[in-house]
Chains A and B, each alone.
Chain A
Amino acid sequence: MQNEIIVIQGAVKRFGRVEALRGVDLTVRRGEVVVIIGPSGSGKSTLLRCINHLESLDEGCIIVDGIPLTQAENINRVRAEVGIVFQQFNLFPHLTALENITLAQRVVRKRSREESERIAMELLKKVGIPEKAHAYPAQLSGGQQQRVAIARALAMQPKIMLFDEPTSALDPEMIKEVLDVMLALAKEGMTMVVVSHEMGFARAAADRIIFMDEGVIVEETTPELLFTAPKHERTKLFLSKILH
Chain B
Amino acid sequence: MPDVERLERTLEAKAATLPKERERFDTWWFLVLAVVGVVSLLVFVKPDPFLRIVLFLRDGIGVTVRITVISFAFILVVGLIGGLGRLAKNWLIHGIASLYVEIIRGIPLLVQLLFLYFAFPQVLDGVGAWLIKLSPSLHGAGQWLVDVKPDPFVMAVAGLTICYGAYMSEIYRAGIQSISKGQMEAARSLGMSYFQAMRYVILPQAVRVILPPVGNEFVALLKDSSLVSVVAVSDMTRRGREFMSSSFMSLETWTMVALLYLVMTLFASRVVAYIERKTAFAK
Contact = CB atoms under 8 A, between A and B. Distances in A.
A208 to B, nearest CB: 24
B251 interface: no
Given A93-B281, A94-B281, A104 B190 contact: yes
A194 to B, nearest CB: 16
Contact of A108 (B185, B192, B201, B282): B192
Contact of B6 (A82, A86, A99): A99
A139 B182 CA distance: 19
Contact of A107 (B186, B196, B283): B196
B177 interface: no
Interface in A55-99: 76, 79-80, 82-84, 86, 88, 90-96, 99
Contact of B191 (A76, A88, A93, A113): A76
Contacts of B185: 54, 86, 90
Nearest to B199: A107
Nearest to A86: B182
A111 B99 CA distance: 42
27 contacts: A54-B185, A54-B188, A54-B189, A76-B191, A82-B189, A84-B189, A90-B182, A90-B183, A90-B185, A90-B186, A91-B186, A92-B186, A92-B201, A93-B205, A93-B281, A94-B208, A96-B10, A99-B6, A103-B190, A103-B201, A104-B192, A108-B190, A108-B191, A108-B196, A136-B282, A139-B282, A152-B190
B136 interface: no
Chain B binding site: helix, strand, loop or mixed by DSSP?
Answer: helix
A225 interface: no
Interface in A147-164: 149, 152-153, 156
Interface of A: 52, 54, 76, 79-80, 82-84, 86, 88, 90-96, 99, 103-104, 107-109, 113, 136, 138-139, 149, 152-153, 156
B87 to A, nearest CB: 18
Interface of B: 2, 6, 10, 180, 182-183, 185-193, 196, 200-201, 204-205, 208, 281-283
Contacts of A107: 192, 196, 200
A84 B189 CA distance: 7
A79 B192 CA distance: 9
B191 A104 contact: yes
**Among B6, B189, B281, B283, residue most surrounded by chain A Cβ atoms (within 10 Å):** B189
A138 B283 CA distance: 6
Q: Which 10 A-B pairs have the closest CB atoms?
A: A104-B190, A90-B186, A90-B182, A108-B191, A80-B191, A138-B282, A84-B189, A79-B191, A94-B204, A107-B196
